[in-house]
Amino acid sequence: MLLRAGMEERSVLVVDDGSLMRWALVKELSTSGYFVDSAATGAGALRTLRERRHWVAFLAIHLADVNGLDLLPRFREISPGTRIVVLSGDGSAQNKRRAFREGAWQFIEKPFEMADLRTVLTSVPGVCPEKRRHGRCFCRLPLRISVISPSPEEASLDLRNLSGITVDLGQGGVGLRTAYGLRKGRFVRLSPLDGEAPCARFIPPGSTAEVVWIAPQPGGSVAGLRWIEGP
């Protein structure tokens, strides 16, 4: 069955062998106005992908009949235009490297918030001013943020102990949410507040980054930062 013209732009495929997870994702995405197909197995996913085009596919790694990462080349062969988002509770560095090497667009660690899925879907057309050359992984990691070289008007503020939380992480940079209004072009140092968290290994204490874009939001802002060696 073919989709109506334009419908493929909001068509999503959910592949997960957990019935509760599948139900929750389908319900959330359908309520948000997307046309959702779902599959519990790799074989079912490939069959559905051949029947109709999908804008985005959310793909779990641990399926009953196959490792989801083994499906990535098949997905790309059948539907090269589909953006693939890997969902997994096994966010090892090895799995992430393989996922991005095989063509995944994003990697979201379980457990995640439904807001993460909405963020992914709204960013598909490319809302960030700079094109990302590296894959990003979604995770929630509390951070301490220290502004390097505050301006004279900020002299009375303690900008060495700001708080924030990561939105996504990657080899090229980090997206974070913070209540303080960071400015484009600023340099900051980032340190994980929970050194035992799975994502913490991707941000060594004192990592330096440059703010490259800002998106104001109620109660703060989301910022995109690029890793650097020094200001």
Listed in order, the ranges of the chain carrying CATH 2.40.10.220 are 139-228
Look over the chain and give the mean of its residue pLDDT values, rounded to a whole number. Answer: 83
Whether 131 has a pLDDT exceeding 60, the answer reads no
| Residue 189 burial class via C-beta count within 10 angstroms: exposed 0-12, middle 13-18, buried 19 and up | middle
For 100-128, write each residue's pLDDT tens digit. Answer: 889 888 888 887 878 777 777 766 644 33
What pLDDT does 198 receive?
65
3-state secondary structure of 106: strand
Residue 164, CB-side half-sphere exposure with 13 Å CA sphere: 30
Task: Determine the Cα–Cα distance for residues 211 and 198; give it in Å rounded to an integer.
Answer: 24
Q: Which fold has domain 139-228?
A: Thrombin, subunit H (2.40.10)
For the cut 90, the answer to whether the pLDDT of residue 230 exceeds it is: no
Q: Which two tokens stand for residue 108?
A: 């979201």
Domain with CATH 3.40.50.2300 in the chain: 7-127
- The CATH code of domain 7-127 reads 3.40.50.2300
